[in-house]
C-alpha cells in the first residue's frame, strides 16, 4: 500500500520550493529528497532552476516522490505541485508563487503575519495555508531559514520520518561544520513544532490555479539589432528588496553627522543626499535618507557608521515603503523622468 497521500496521473507526489538566492532552498530540496529515498525506500528526484544563483535572484527547487515500482522518467519543472513552500515574502511582488497549485493544495509561507493577510497577498481562494516564522527561528538559533522550513515541510508531509531528516542534517554538517549540527537540529524541531495551519474550504468542482510561465520582454522578434540596451543606467528599475534576509538599516537623522562613511561602503548607492548649508552658511551635502528599493540588507553601513545614526532593524512588512526616500535620476534614455 502506498504511503504517499496524493499522486498525479504519472504517480508522482510533487513539491515546489519558491525562494531567492541565499536562503538555501536548493540544499533544502536535496536534503528532503535524500531523506525520502534513503529512509522510506521511495523513488525520488530533485533539481533546481535558477540563473546566476546570486543573492536575491529567484530560485526554484523541485522534489518528486513516487512508489518504488514507479520509474521517474519525467525531469521537467513541476507545474502542478501538491505543496508549495515560499521562503521569502518579497517573492509575491515579482513571482506568481502559487501558479499551477492544485485546488486542495498546501502553501507553506515563511511569515509572521496573519493567515488572512498572507492569503490576500497570495490571491489564494481555497486550500490549506501553513505559516511558520522561519526567519525568527533562524535568527534566534543562528542558522538559516531552510532548516526551519524543512521542519515545517515534514509536519505537512506526515508520511516522512522526522528522525531521518535529523540523520541527514548530521551527515550534511558533521564533516565541515560540526558546530552547526545541534543548532540546525533545534531549528528543524522548532519549524516542525511551530508551524500553524488554516484550511479554507474547497468548493465542489473547484479548479486549481492555472500555470503561467513568464515570458521575456525581448525575444528573437523584439530584440534590438545588435542587442543594444536602449535605456542606459537601466539598473534604476531593479528592486533588491527580495535580497534582504530579515534586517535593514534604520536611519536616525538627529544623530547623523553627515560624514558619508555609510555611502562609502554601500555597494548599491542606497543613500540619498541633498545640498544645503551648515551653521556657518557653507555649502554641504546632507544625508536625506535611504532608498530601500536598492537596499539588500548587507548592513555594511551600520558597521561603518561612527555614531548611532544607523542601526540594524528587524524588517517589518511596510516599513521600507513608508520610510523610503527615493533617489532622483533626472536623465534616462535621453529624457527627463
3-state secondary structure of 23: coil
Q: What is the CATH T-level fold of the domain 12-200, as seen in this structure?
A: Pyruvate-ferredoxin Oxidoreductase; domain 3 (3.40.920)
In Å, what is the CA distance from 30 to each residue of 36, 54, 147, 259? 10, 19, 12, 47
Sequential pLDDT tens for the chain (337 residues): 578 888 888 999 999 999 887 788 888 999 899 888 988 889 999 998 876 555 667 889 999 999 999 988 888 899 999 999 999 887 877 788 899 998 889 999 999 889 999 999 888 888 899 999 998 898 889 888 899 999 999 999 988 889 988 988 898 888 888 999 999 999 999 999 999 999 998 888 777 787 877 776 667 777 766 655 555 545 666 777 777 777 899 999 999 999 999 999 998 889 999 999 888 888 999 999 999 988 988 899 999 999 999 999 988 878 998 999 998 876 654 554 4
Same CATH topology for 12-200 and 234-323: the answer is: no
In Å, what is the CA distance from 7 to each residue of 15, 151, 218, 240? 11, 22, 37, 37
Give the separation between CA 177 and CA 303, rounded to whole angstroms.
Answer: 26
Task: Give the pTM.
Answer: 0.79
The four Cα atoms 85, 91, 92, 94 give a dihedral, to 10 degrees, of -130
Top-tier CATH class for 234-323: alpha beta
* Per-domain boundaries in the chain: 12-200, 234-323
Amino acid at each position: 500500500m502506498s504511503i504517499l497521500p496524493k499522486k498525479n496521473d504519472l504517480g508522482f507526489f510533487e513539491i515546489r520550493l519558491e525562494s531567492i538566492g541565499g536562503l538555501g532552498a536548493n540544499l533544502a530540496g536535496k536534503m528532503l529528497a535524500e531523506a525520502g529515498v534513503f529512509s522510506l525506500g521511495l523513488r525520488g528526484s530533485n533539481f533546481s532552476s535558477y540563473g546566476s544563483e546570486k543573492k536575491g535572484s529567484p530560485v526554484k527547487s523541485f522534489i518528486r516522490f513516487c512508489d518504488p515500482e514507479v520509474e521517474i522518467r519525467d525531469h521537467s519543472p513541476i507545474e502542478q505541485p501538491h505543496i508549495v513552500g515560499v521562503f521569502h515574502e518579497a517573492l509575491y511582488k515579482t513571482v506568481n508563487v502559487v501558479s499551477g497549485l492544485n485546488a486542495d493544495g498546501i502553501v507553506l509561507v515563511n511569515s509572521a503575519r496573519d493567515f488572512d493577510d498572507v492569503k490576500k497577498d497570495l490571491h489564494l481562494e481555497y486550500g490549506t495555508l501553513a505559516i511558520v516564522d522561519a526567519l525568527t527561528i533562524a535568527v534566534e538559533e543562528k542558522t538559516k531559514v531552510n532548516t526551519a522550513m524543512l521542519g515545517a515541510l515534514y509536519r505537512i508531509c506526515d508520511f516522512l520520518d522526522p528522525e531521518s531528516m535529523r540523520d541527514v542534517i548530521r551527515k550534511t554538517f558533521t564533516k565541515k561544520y560540526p558546530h552547526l549540527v545541534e543548532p540546525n537540529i533545534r531549528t528543524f524541531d522548532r519549524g516542525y513544532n511551530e508551524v500553524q495551519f488554516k484550511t479554507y474550504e474547497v468548493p465542489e468542482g473547484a479548479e486549481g490555479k492555472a500555470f503561467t510561465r513568464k515570458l521575456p520582454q525581448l525575444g528573437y522578434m523584439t530584440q534590438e539589432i545588435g542587442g543594444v540596451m536602449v535605456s542606459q543606467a537601466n539598473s534604476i528599475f531593479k528592486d533588491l528588496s527580495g535580497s534582504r534576509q530579515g534586517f535593514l538599516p534604520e536611519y536616525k537623522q538627529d544623530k547623523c553627522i553627515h560624514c558619508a562613511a555609510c555611502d562609502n561602503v554601500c555597494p548599491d548607492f542606497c543613500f540619498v543626499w541633498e545640498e544645503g548649508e551648515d551653521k556657518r552658511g557653507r555649502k554641504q551635502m546632507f544625508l536625506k535618507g535611504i532608498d530601500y528599493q536598492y537596499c539588500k540588507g548587507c548592513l555594511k553601513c551600520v558597521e561603518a557608521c561612527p555614531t548611532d545614526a544607523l542601526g540594524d532593524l528587524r524588517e517589518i512588512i511596510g516599513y521600507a515603503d513608508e520610510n523610503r526616500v527615493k533617489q532622483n535620476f533626472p536623465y534616462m534614455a535621453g529624457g527627463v523622468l
